[in-house]
Amino acid sequence: MQTDFAKESALYQLWLEHAVDDPDLISELESIRGDNDAIRERFYRDLEFGTGGLRGVLGAGTAQMNIYTVRRATQGLADYVNGSFAEPSVAISYDSRIKSDTFAKAAASVLAANGIRVHLYTELMPTPMLSFAVRALHCSAGIMVTASHNPAKYNGYKVYGADGCQITLDVANTVINKIKAVDIFNDVKTTDFEEAVANGMISYIQQDVIEDYYKNVLAQGINTALCPDSGLKIVYTPLNGTGNKPVREILKRIGISEVTVVPEQELPDGNFTTCPYPNPEIREALEYGLRLCDQVQPDLLLATDPDCDRVGIAVPDGQGGYALFSGNEVGAMLLEYICEQRTKLGTMPKDPVAVKTIVTTDLVKAIAAEYGVRLIDVLTGFKFIGEQIALLEEKGEENRYIFGFEESYGYLAGTYVRDKDAVVASMLIVEMAAYYRTKGISMMQARENLYSKYGVFKHRQESFAFEGVSGMHRMQEIMQSLRTDAPKEIGGLKVIESADYLTGLFTDAATGETRPTGLPKSDVVSFFLPDHASVIVRPSGTEPKIKAYYTTTGKTMAQAEALEEKLRADMQKLLKK
């Protein structure tokens, strides 16, 4: 430990001498002088460039997000891009988080210094609009500066390939190796941002690209013509993020005029003072919107996360309050709506394809079977859905793709982007609600109709946090324990089959026989129980957390919820021990 700290102390001294470009970092480094624990937390490791990019707590040091860790990562990316493309270019966007614009400009300056053309949005823009710009401008790669729905102390940096999808595992590994070869102070090339703009190495993305994106979103509408006369009222919150302008613009274009925006959460604010965890999956983030609903009495509350790739909703519950719908429920309702309406209108493609992640509801299997849709399961992460679209595109069959979604509130219709898109999802959710309203059906009733038709499925995700140096080791120990000492029963139900996506094998609990999962390796374990019940466990790829996903079924929601509590009680013992 002493040797390790000697290394960390040396790094701290190096940063005191060289980290002079950001006054905030200088102040922070001075403030921890002599505090060994604080120094260790900042320098015990390099901030890891994972399969999609960087994400970490803002602050000084090799283990945190700052302009130096951003520059180093960008130098590694630049080395990859220059070695792979003849005339390389990169698109960049950023969200409302603290220092997002600073990091975007820092990345742009490094790329320009390496002879790579940069296309940068003039203001903060959603993640899907970055994915769109990569494709529209024929770029070699893309960078989105965001930490998605994490608390204000975080920021991050996602990397996209030339196809507009988050980079593949192979490319990520190549970039990681390039980054590892870069000395954070000696090997990074950079240039003055304004000079690079003046000489044309950095240029701003023009309005025509934004307009083309809007046209592609609008093209995914099915019954948008009925929206203007539907009488639908909306309350919308962008949670102080990037969704404010594009979501409102799309709703305006489909004729939804009664949109009330939550005033406290309308404008960009990286401090997220009204929602410390700006995640539309949790009720806390929607509290201000729900209060406004009590006044406005809308048909629907929409909430998009800071980089506007996820959207959550709440609807009148028929008892004077508002019910939050889960990502699984909204995704299933959207798939049913798209399939039913496109079949009715004769616009369903031949051999249609829908894609979901392995932790997403199996309810959609029944929906897909009902409408003759091929349903593809992929690993967690929307880039794996994007990869399926790319495979269809290679065969000239991208029009077969009708919908993809994941339980964590990410949805995509259309192939114009290769990541989840809360702008198009907001439009389709509103259109669906408007359609049902014209039929005299509330969203609550539409959900009940879905369960009546296909059965009741209950889903819940639970996170277990493991902060700091020791936390990462504890997470590894728990995942290993679930593999070597796997539970035979959970919640009183026998485990029928398990899956270890790291070994790529399903294992029959009774016979021990195995079969391949057919998916890339991933640190995920699943336990399958009777009657479609299951528990899936995985460490987060972006946060120091282990996530557990529970699925239960029943004749009623009460039955499914009672079983879920039993599953949770057992898993909490395993994941907290």
Residues 199 and 218 in one domain: no
Please give the residue range of the domain that contains residue 131.
45-205
- Residue 428, CB-side half-sphere exposure with 13 Å CA sphere: 31
Residues 56 and 101 in one domain: yes
As a whole number of angstroms, the distance between CA 303 and CA 247 comes to 10
Tokens of 198: 């003046």
**Residue 476 forms part of a structural domain:** yes
Residues 444 and 462 in one domain: no
**Residue 363 forms part of a structural domain:** yes
**Which segment of 214-223, 233-242, 537-546 scores lowest on mean pLDDT?**
537-546
**Residue 100's CATH number:** 3.40.120.10
As a whole number of angstroms, the distance between CA 385 and CA 274 comes to 33
Residues 138 and 236 in one domain: no
Q: At 573, which amino acid appears? A: K
* pLDDT for position 168: 87
Q: What percent of the chain has pLDDT over 90?
A: 90
Domains in the chain: how many in total? 3
Tell me the Ramachandran region of residue 348: left when phi exceeds 0, alpha when psi lies from -120 to 50, beta otherwise. beta
Read off the pLDDT of residues 338-347 as tens digits, 9 standing for 90 and up. 999 999 999 9
Q: Which residue is listed with tokens 């399958």?
A: 528
Residues 109 and 189 in one domain: yes
**Residue 395 forms part of a structural domain:** yes
Domain boundary among 423, 438, 454: 454
**Residue 417 forms part of a structural domain:** yes
* pLDDT for position 562: 95
Residues 335 and 416 in one domain: yes
3-state SS, 54-109, equals EEEEECCCCCCECHHHHHHHHHHHHHHHHHHCCCCEEEEEECCCCCHHHHHHHHHH
Across the chain, mean pLDDT equals 95
pLDDT(543) > 80: no
Contact 301, 314 (CB under 8 A): yes
Residues 131 and 182 in one domain: yes
As a whole number of angstroms, the distance between CA 520 and CA 389 comes to 17
* pLDDT for position 544: 82
Residues 467 and 425 in one domain: no
Read off the pLDDT of residues 61-91 as tens digits, 9 standing for 90 and up. 999 999 999 999 999 999 999 999 999 999 9
**Residue 17 forms part of a structural domain:** no
Compute, in degrees rounded to 10, the torsion defined by CA atoms 212, 215, 219, 222. Answer: 160
Residues 102 and 249 in one domain: no
Contacts of 531 (CB under 8 A, 6+ apart): 553
**Which pLDDT band holds residue 3 (cuts at 50, 70, 90)?**
low
Residue of 148, 326, 408, 522 marked catalytic: 148
Read off the pLDDT of residues 151-188 as tens digits, 9 standing for 90 and up. 999 999 999 999 999 998 899 999 999 999 999 999 99
Q: What percent of the chain has pLDDT over 70?
A: 99
* pLDDT for position 576: 79
As a whole number of angstroms, the distance between CA 483 and CA 492 comes to 20
Residues 472 and 446 in one domain: no
Read off the pLDDT of residues 459-476 as tens digits, 9 standing for 90 and up. 888 999 887 777 888 898
- Residue 368, CB-side half-sphere exposure with 13 Å CA sphere: 21
* pLDDT for position 473: 85
pLDDT(2) > 70: no
**Which pLDDT band holds residue 248 (cuts at 50, 70, 90)?**
very high
Helix (H, G, I), strand (E, B) or coil at 9: helix
pLDDT(555) > 80: yes
pLDDT(1) > 70: no
Domain boundary among 432, 454, 476: 454
* pLDDT for position 4: 67
Tokens of 532: 């479609």
The angle subtended at Cα 112 by Cα 45 and Cα 121, nearest 5°, is 90
Contact 383, 412 (CB under 8 A): no
Residues 373 and 237 in one domain: yes
**Residue 40 forms part of a structural domain:** no
Beta partners for residue 493, in sequence order: 490
**Residue 506's CATH number:** 3.30.310.50
**Which pLDDT band holds residue 542 (cuts at 50, 70, 90)?**
low
Average pLDDT on 428-444 reads: 97
**Closest residue by Cα to residue 72 from 91, 56, 96:** 56
**Which segment of 295-309, 364-378, 456-470, 487-501 scores lowest on mean pLDDT?**
456-470
Residues 443 and 569 in one domain: no
Domain boundary among 434, 454, 474: 454
**Residue 35 forms part of a structural domain:** no
* pLDDT for position 159: 97
Q: How big is the chain by its Cα radius of gyration, in Å?
A: 24
540 part of the active site: no
**Residue 10 forms part of a structural domain:** no
